Amino acid sequence: MISPARDAALDILLKVEQGGFASELLHSERLDRLTAQDRALATELVMGVLRWRSRLDEAIASHSSQKLSKLDPEVLESLRLGSYQIGFLTRIPAHAAVNDAVELVKRKKKKSAAPFVNAILRKLLAKKDLLEPVLAPGPKTIPEVAELYAHPLWLVERWAAQYGIEAAERICVHDQQVSSTAIHITDAGVETELKAGGIELAPGRLLHSARLVTNGDVTKTAAFADGRVHIQDEGSQLIAMLAGRGQRFLDCCAAPGGKTSILAERNPESDIVATELHEHRARALRERLAARHNVTVMTADAANLSLPNHFDRILADVPCSGTGTLARNPEIKWRLTTDDLADLSGRQVAILRSVLTKLQPGGRLLYSTCSLEPEENESVVRKALEESGYQLTPVAEDLSALLDEGILVVTDVTALIDGPFLRLLPGAFGTDGFFAAIISRA
């Protein structure tokens, strides 16, 4: 009998290859039928295969008589599942990994490929070192970093050029690890309730209002079910804090609503308009923010908003490549191209120019992404500032104000700053990567 976890993992990997996102699929009904143990294993298998895909493919290709691009998706994903277990999960019996991979291709009506899958995985059993490149001590070259940590060479080259080879390696190391689960808490009663329910929490590394879940499943708690606690990366929480306080807020591209919720919590007397392009996401946003009576959700294109120019605070957390979130979304690194970056940059400039016109004189806008790429960050801000009447405001003063307010754990705000911008590189404080810039209207 095939392990339910491996069966579910293969189904999810095939959907990811068709354009799905693992983070969503791993919380879909497909996994609700599994035991907690099988669900955890399915998650580890899916994320492990996606994180280490290039290493797995290189090992598989070394024993394959066919090019991997010629293999049916069901066959290739079964091979990746089997090789990941052989090379990275020592607690999984090797025979179980091989046998299930063979049975999976049979179940997917690829019975003729079963001997092929069996032969390759048994060869890998004899040569596990193919999955474990050994590098000489000392500094590594960019190609060595890309191979060792299973990242596309072009991405590592970009990061090394912008941040240095050592920082690029730290980013890659972070991307290959399981991300910490962070939540935002301002109600001591909720924290007490979670702990009483067996959820173990640790202090945040960036924010005093953040907690890290060190043990237990917070998604199974009543507090999570009724919306009193949400999972949100600490870097994302900081972006919402940095948006500041005001009377009339515009939060464009607001879904899934974590930042909007913090804006509403910090500005209970303010009017907040949250816009979202897609109706189904706007609907989910309304449901999540139903208890926030000062928030109005609109379905609208942020690049073409029909709203008055009376907002004194705007948060433009725009759609981006997500290269700062590869630890949570590893499939992005295998899909992304430089053409995508150009397309995203054009869309981001259009959004930023549009929403700047909704800013009242003296107002401030926070532009943010979870990207590491300059085309989506500094370049977008500079193009938007070509419009007269707007100026870049360094983030240092606002971060110092958050420190004085007792919000930041970090006491040296210069660690968060790159010139006039906020820059969080993945892993620096255990967070995803984020960029932010403050633009003021004269």
Phi-psi region of 376 (alpha: psi -120 to 50; beta: other; left: phi over 0): alpha
Amino acid present at 338 = T
Q: On the CB side of 136, how many CA atoms lie within 13 Å of its CA?
A: 4
Catalytic residues: 370
**Which stretches of 68-138 are assigned E, i.e. beta strand?**
none
The token pair at 103 is: 């049975």
Classify residue 368 by burial, with Cβ atoms within 10 Å: 0-12, 13-18, 19+.
buried
Q: Please answer whether residues 23 and 16 qualify as being in contact, where contact means their C-beta atoms are separated by less than 8 angstroms.
A: no
Tell me the three state secondary structure of residue 197: coil
Task: Name the β-bridge partners of 239.
Answer: none
Angle at 286 between CA 283 and CA 289, to 5 degrees: 150
Nearest CA-CA partner of 87 in 98, 99, 72: 98
The token pair at 382 is: 């500079």
Q: Please answer whether residues 234 and 202 qualify as being in contact, where contact means their C-beta atoms are separated by less than 8 angstroms.
A: no
Q: Please answer whether residues 313 and 363 qualify as being in contact, where contact means their C-beta atoms are separated by less than 8 angstroms.
A: yes
How far is the CA of 275 from the CAs of 126, 249, 262, 345, in angstroms?
56, 11, 16, 20
Classify residue 420 by burial, with Cβ atoms within 10 Å: 0-12, 13-18, 19+.
middle
Q: Please answer whether residues 277 and 333 qualify as being in contact, where contact means their C-beta atoms are separated by less than 8 angstroms.
A: no
- Please state, in angstroms and rounded to a whole number, the distance separating the CA atoms of residues 347 and 341: 10
Q: Find the helix or strand (DSSP H, E) in which 252 lies.
A: strand 248-252
Amino acid present at 248 = R
Amino acid present at 425 = L
